[in-house]
Amino acid sequence: MFQIENMLSKTELESLIQGCRKGDRYAQNRVYRSFYAWAHSICQRYNKDSESTQECVQDGFFKVFTKIDKYGGDLSFEAWLKKIMVNTCIDRYRASLHDTPTVELKEAVDETVVSETRINANADYLLYMVRKLPPAYQATFNLYAIEGYGYQEIADMLGVNIGTVKSNLHKARLMLKELLTNRTKVDVYGK
């Protein structure tokens, strides 16, 4: 699990949240700096390149600071911030659907369990491989496998039917298995 840098005490975080509610730039800056790397790692899972990731992070923090009055404390601040970042990425994905031609996918008839491939890969490499998936597969895989949402929740978030979610998840798993199984010994980062 990603460690939040500059971990704030609960008292300090509550004080900063109150400052953010008052529009205090210092409080906003502290929250931004404290949670930036963590928010970036969340948004990175949903975007193909660093520019898109950065735009999602900036849009997400804008939403955090403009909607801070809606934060009621029923969730931890970290969970609330994460939800905003994920939703910002999903909103960006949905907006991109209007820019690209779409193809209707067939409903998955049977979701087979993909056998575990034993690979000694680090988290950066796995993230790199997930980012190679087409946007629909990447979003679906992240929401299901990483964020833990159910099929219907994902369908509602992405604005597609549940069959498309199942199909996209199945195809994402197959593509990842293929990518991971056929990886070469060449350093994919070009080093």
Asked which of 49, 75, 97 is the last residue of a domain, the reply is: 97
Mean per-residue pLDDT, 80-89: 94
Q: Which pLDDT value is given to residue 8?
A: 84
| Same domain as 91, residue 14 | yes
pTM above 0.75, yes or no: no
pLDDT digits (tens, 9 = 90+) for 30-44: 999 999 999 999 999
Q: Which pLDDT value is given to residue 123?
A: 67
Comparing CA positions, the residue from 128, 161, 33, 39 lying closest to residue 89 is 39
Residue 4 falls inside a structural domain: no
Q: Tell me the pLDDT band of 6, cut-offs 50, 70 and 90.
A: low
Q: What is the CATH number of the domain that holds 191?
A: 1.10.10.10
Q: Which pLDDT value is given to residue 61?
A: 97
Q: What is the CATH number of the domain that holds 91?
A: 1.10.1740.10
Comparing CA positions, the residue from 53, 33, 173 lying closest to residue 117 is 173
Residue 1 falls inside a structural domain: no
